[in-house]
Structure 1
Amino acid sequence: MFSGDRETGRAIAEGYEAFEAEDWPRAGDRLAAAAARLSGRKAKAAWFDAALAYKFARDWPRAYETGKVAVTHVRRGREEPAFWNLGTAATVLRDWDTARDCWAGYGLPPFPGTGQIDAELGPTCVRLADVGEVVWAIRLCPTRARVINVPFDPSRRFGEVVVHDGAPSGERTAGEMTVPVFDEVALFEPSAIATLSVLVTAAPGDLDPLAESFARRQLGFEILASRVDLCDCCSRSSIRQERAEYDGEQRLFLGAGEADARALLEAWTAEEPQTRSWTNLHPA
């Protein structure tokens, strides 16, 4: 065996050992070093896994550079995950031309135009990194979504745009609609809308018109009593979200500026002052 073969074999072994240990930077480095000396299927696998390791490390420049090599080893239009991984890295780095090419290379319908992709691809759910909370969102491109829930964790915000993974990790059903849950991989665009907390009192059914008034203004509205805590295993399964009716004293989280929130709350109470009231509006 030539010394170059031994070095390549050692790099592959060390790369996959690091991969198993979730030492993502080392896994990426060693697999990329080996891939550069390989050809054929072995090169294809090593470049893909190197790019994947850098993605797991959230080292987007390296995920991008190794991903660009990885896609040269696969065929276009065959739903090859190498294109999806590169498209994700290109999106985080805001290289929209490369992202568009990757979605076409994966086999998706084309996204015409130039610049940032802001399509309307329907609802989905995203599991927020670090906090583990699953929120509803609207997909803007194959790997970006805007959060339309008010997260219960006040470190996260209504209106954030996140980059999510391409492999579903659970699903949520509301009414007749079932959507996948994707894991967040990066915060793409923070939200300027801080979360507000308010205590309201309402008769049965009275919270529905308040929620609708916030929705019409494209603002966030959450009832804290609707929170359901799940273990990680259950969170990654199929969950049906049942609609419940809340009345009496309830704590709300609002994704709105204070002036807008105050105006909507006052208009709501003015309609039924005998049964509706609110107090203690403040940052959560």
Structure 2
Amino acid sequence: MVRAFDGRLVRKAQDAWDDEDWPRAARLLEELLARDPDGEQAPARWYDAALAYKFMRDWPRAYELGKQAAARAPRGRQDPAFWNLGIAATVQGDWATARDAWAGYGIDLPPGDGEIEENLGMTCVRLDPEGEVEIVWALRICPTRARVLSVPFNTARRYGEIVVHDGVPNGERVVDGHRFPVFDELLCWKASDLPTLSVTVSTPDTAGIDELVVLFDSRGFGAEPSSSLQFLCKCCSDGSVEQTRSVRAGGQTVWLAAPEGEARRLLDDWAGDAGYERSWANLHPVS
């Protein structure tokens, strides 16, 4: 039975939560749960405690408390306890628990064992949301992971890396009437070994740039013209943005994701196949 003085503990936990003092909030919530693990308020407290550890990126504790929260949540009703457990279990590499969490939330994935790697469609991910923010295109391979398919302009990041992202969209991008959510990155789950290169290209029309992008993409690599870079304030970035690919002709820098030898061969093919003047120069690694 919860003692009467627990009311003061509840208020302290609530104050810590309101102040976003996640370590203190988690500690106080766990103290409450130790006294009353299955009471009327326990399901919400298990969820909040797990969420506080998620905010701290303490994934082992988010995972352990998340299992307790999900065990007390209704299945198949999109209860967020299952989503947070799915994230934590994915980070921990517990695929059986992750699969069960997605099913508990109400997501139908193809049956299977082990790591989840599906094609769940394109999305946008905000890399490094608390630092050098950049929004990239990515392919969702499970409900909380996506493979980056843009060549990031941030040289600390790479095409092909797999990131874990949050479950609640923070903005959207609209392309030809189709809406794509923007998810905030939680962590880089798997690094990419593809280097980022910079090259100066010249072509008399925008079709040349488009063909270069398609050529690298067809080989499993990436190409991103510098003219596609768009700067937005935070307010606009977090909102709904009509996305148009800005590609121009003439000379410009293009960022490539490919081994240097492969990049040289593909650039030669691109320049040599044209019936008009195309050229490239100054290929060099930037990461």
**TM exceeds 0.5?**
yes
| Per-residue deviation, 1:33 | 1.6
- Alignment partner, residue 106 of structure 1: 105
- Alignment partner, residue 262 of structure 1: 264
SS at match of 2:35: coil
| Aligned-partner Cα distance in 2 for 1:229–1:41 | 48
SS at match of 1:27: helix
- Alignment partner, residue 10 of structure 1: 8
- Alignment partner, residue 43 of structure 1: 42
| Aligned-partner Cα distance in 1 for 2:31–2:240 | 40
| Aligned-partner Cα distance in 1 for 2:169–2:150 | 19
SS at match of 1:5: coil
SS at match of 1:281: strand
Q: Are residue 158 (structure 1) and residue 159 (structure 2) matched?
A: yes
SS at match of 1:206: helix
Closer, same or farther: CA 231–70 of 1 in aligned 2, 3 Å? same
- Alignment partner, residue 121 of structure 1: 120
Bigger shift: 197-206 or 93-102? 197-206
SS at match of 1:33: helix
- Residue 274 of structure 2 aligns with an amino acid whose one-letter code is E
- Residue 90 of structure 2 aligns with an amino acid whose one-letter code is T
| Aligned-partner Cα distance in 1 for 2:261–2:202 | 20
- Alignment partner, residue 237 of structure 2: 235
| Aligned-partner Cα distance in 2 for 1:3–1:144 | 40
- Alignment partner, residue 272 of structure 1: 274
| Aligned-partner Cα distance in 1 for 2:140–2:194 | 19
| Per-residue deviation, 1:249 | 0.8
SS at match of 2:169: coil
| Per-residue deviation, 1:149 | 0.3
* TM-score, length basis structure 1: 0.95
SS at match of 2:60: helix
- Residue 257 of structure 1 aligns with an amino acid whose one-letter code is P
Coordinate RMSD, CA, aligned: 1.6
SS at match of 1:234: helix
SS at match of 1:32: helix
- Alignment partner, residue 255 of structure 2: 253
| Per-residue deviation, 1:273 | 7.2
Closer, same or farther: CA 173–190 of 1 in aligned 2, 3 Å? same
- Alignment partner, residue 25 of structure 1: 23
| Aligned-partner Cα distance in 2 for 1:35–1:178 | 41
* Structure 1 residue ranges, 4+ long, deviating more than 4 angstroms after superposition: none
- Give CA deviations for 1:155-206 in whole Å, capped at 9, x if unaligned: 1110010001111111111224211111111111011112111111111121
| Aligned-partner Cα distance in 2 for 1:167–1:3 | 34
Q: Percent identity?
A: 50
Aligned residues of 1:35 and 1:42 also touching (Cα < 8 A): no
Bigger shift: 257-266 or 105-114? 105-114
| Aligned-partner Cα distance in 2 for 1:72–1:3 | 21
Aligned residues of 2:227 and 2:246 also touching (Cα < 8 A): no
- Structure 1 unaligned spans of 5+: none
* TM-score, length basis structure 2: 0.94
- Residue 82 of structure 2 aligns with an amino acid whose one-letter code is F
SS at match of 1:279: strand
| Aligned-partner Cα distance in 2 for 1:232–1:36 | 41
Aligned residues of 2:228 and 2:247 also touching (Cα < 8 A): no
- Alignment partner, residue 143 of structure 2: 142
| Aligned-partner Cα distance in 1 for 2:40–2:261 | 60
| Per-residue deviation, 1:68 | 0.8
